[in-house]
Structure 1
Amino acid sequence: MRASRLLSVLLTLQTRGHVTAQELADELEVSVRTVYRDIESLSAAGIPVYAERGPAGGYRLLDGFRTKINGLTADEADSLMLAGLPGPAAELGLGAVVASAQLKLMAGLAPELRERATRTGERFHLDTVGWYAEAEKSPYLAEAANAVWHGRRIRISYRRWGGAVAPRVLDPYGLVLKAGVWYLVARPAEGEEGGRSRKDRTYRVGRILELTTLGEEFERDPGFSLADYWTVWSEDFERNLYQVPAVVRLSPRARAAVAGLFGPQRERVVAETESAPDAEGWVKAVLPLETMRFGALELLRFGSDVEVLAPPELRADVEATARAVMAVYAPGGPGSPEPSGD
């Protein structure tokens, strides 16, 4: 356990450069006193680690020192071939770089770990695109990624959901790949939207019609976390997307299909609001829908396994649509076959 911790300290110093004793203690879940002892052990072993005094002090390795130990365990070696995500890497313009990095990492592994990593690559494949869909074409993805990496401000022409095209000057903070679609998380540049009351926003990269990288760099907010932002934003997006709370009765078959057809967020709402089953197994629950019209079409997929109770406008829309369908298929309807004669 201690040898593993010493290796973690060494690799952390090598990766991050300057680290305080408290930061090391927090990451390793040990006391600061234990960190002091570990640093002394590394120094005694000939590792050139030294302390910087003062309020901004900490530990760092002597400039130019690099260890050749990669520290990979068997499980980490198993995951090596899954980490590259060659499809998304290629979209970012990094396909060849990722392949080269994997080759170098593989070359540094012990023979038995190299064999395990190779076997993983032969037996597992990651496909980030949802079913019945293909990766969205994003011609400016590589340029956006380059601006994110180098902290360069960009100017874009962006096609909004309604079709209108709007110019934007942005400080690009990060890129997120979600179900085969790339999203740019960015902050409007100073003076673009209300001075300092700027708010981080999400832009679908495939809707960027033009992108120009400007010569100026921007100062990145040190407190920004891309992962935290995306978690909050995506939850809010799903919650705000479904604004019509429909009260419905669901047959046992329809209730079992809610999660698969409507997703986990709406499944949770149904589970929290459903009543006890009646004698025939039907339950009453709230099912959030995006709009009245689209919601009616969604519910009609269930046929007679769903009954809309409220709002009355939605019930009327479902009823009217069902009657229109019946009229099409009724004898003598528009598409009815001609009666055959003798």
Structure 2
Amino acid sequence: MKIDRMLEIIIYLVNHDNVSARYLAERFGVSVRTIQRDIVSISSIGIPVYAAGGKYGGYSILPTYKMKNLNIREDEQQMIRKALESLATSYTSDTLDGLIEKYNAIVEKEGGQKVFWDFGVSRENKKVQDSNRLLEKAIHNKNVVSFSYQKADGTQSQQSVEPLAIHYKWYAWYLFAYLEKRQAYRTYKIARMRDITIEERKAVRDHGDIRERMKESEKEYYRTCIAIEIHFHEKEAGLMEEFFPDCAVERLPDGQFRTFIYVPPGERLWKALLLSFGDRVRVVGPEEYKEDLILTAQKFLSNYDI
């Protein structure tokens, strides 16, 4: 499994200098290209891997980041811990137990283990775990996949896409893909995907740097978002910053606080978050979003004899 292999590569590199991609490929039973992709992924989570060219070149990790001889700092432990946490939500507990054992064997200091994990809340259900493994296989083999998809507003559609990457954000796993019939890139929440099927048809389009395509797609996504003005009491400022960390909070002359949250059309999660504050949060505008929140609250109350 990829995450297991990546951690083993990190362990090997911190204990060996100047390891060639060919040697790593033979050691882990994969292609040189797969090792190169793994090295890019390892670098992206903050492990400083560098490559030396020439006949005797290879991969190494900067000496200041060496974990042998128990030199890893506490902030570096947290970096690796966060990387594991972000990946842990899609893999089985047996795999995680093995990874944690390996990690503890490297970083344990005098006085016992310093970092502990509890993945009970963050773990995705088995369906998402299985879907991630299926999609990872399709991406590796460049197969088109089809599936039934339920949008945030409850509507369903049948999709056939070229899967390009799975990634973790907003506390969930997503598929980044190319929708050929629209000639556009789309992001799908994996938990909303049903009946995923790997087709025999291969994806032939060259998408270039997938990370760049993802950044461009995200910028386009945010251009469709609507700014909703929210007023709230001072004692709720901390929770508002926690729920909407990218939204600036300012104090108003009347002592209340204000922020603007940005939501895409059809998204419903923002209503659930705001309703959880009760009368301590108020939507000021736009008017249609204010009315939408009121209507949602009225429909909820209609289920009860009040």
What interval of TM-score do these two structures reach, taking the shorter chain for normalisation?
Answer: 0.5 to 0.7
Alignment TM-score, normalising by the size of structure 1: 0.50
Correspondent of 1:165 among 141, 152, 157: 157
Deviation at 1:290, TM superposition (A): 6.7
| Map of 2:241 onto structure 1 | 259
AA matched with 2:18: L
Retained in 1: the 8 A contact 2:145–2:197? yes
Over 3 Å counting, the alpha-carbon distance change for 1:126 and 1:177 in structure 2 is farther
Structure with the greater alpha carbon radius of gyration: 1
SS at match of 1:193: coil
**Aligned counterpart, 1:56:** none
SS in structure 2 at match of 1:90: coil
Partner of 2:198: 213
- Corresponding residue number in structure 2 for 1:90: 91
Q: Which residue is 2:132 aligned to?
A: 141
| Correspondence list, 1:1-342, <5 A | 10-11=18-19, 50=55, 72-73=67-68, 74-75=70-71, 79=77, 82=81, 87-88=88-89, 90-91=91-92, 95-96=94-95, 99=98, 113=106, 115-116=108-109, 119-120=112-113, 123-125=115-117, 127=119, 129=121, 135=125, 137-138=127-128, 139-149=130-140, 151-161=141-151, 162-168=154-160, 170-178=161-169, 181-188=172-179, 192-193=180-181, 198-215=183-200, 217-219=202-204, 221=206, 223-226=208-211, 229-230=213-214, 233=217, 237=221, 240-241=224-225, 243=226, 245-246=228-229, 249-260=231-242, 262-265=243-246, 267-268=247-248, 271=249, 274=250, 277-278=252-253, 281-283=255-257, 286=260, 288=262, 302=277, 305-306=280-281, 309-311=284-286
Deviations 1:298-331 (A, max 9, x none): 6565555455554556667888999x8xx99xxx
Q: Which has the higher contact order (CA 8 A, sep 6+)?
A: 2
Unmatched runs of 5 consecutive residues or more in structure 2: 1-14, 26-31, 37-48, 59-65
2:18 aligned counterpart, secondary structure? helix
Q: Report deviation, 1:125.
A: 0.8
Aligned-pair identity in percent equals: 16
| TM-score using structure 2 length | 0.55
Which protein has the bigger strand share?
A: 2
Is this contact kept in 2: 1:145–1:175, CA < 8 A? yes
Total equivalences in the alignment? 254
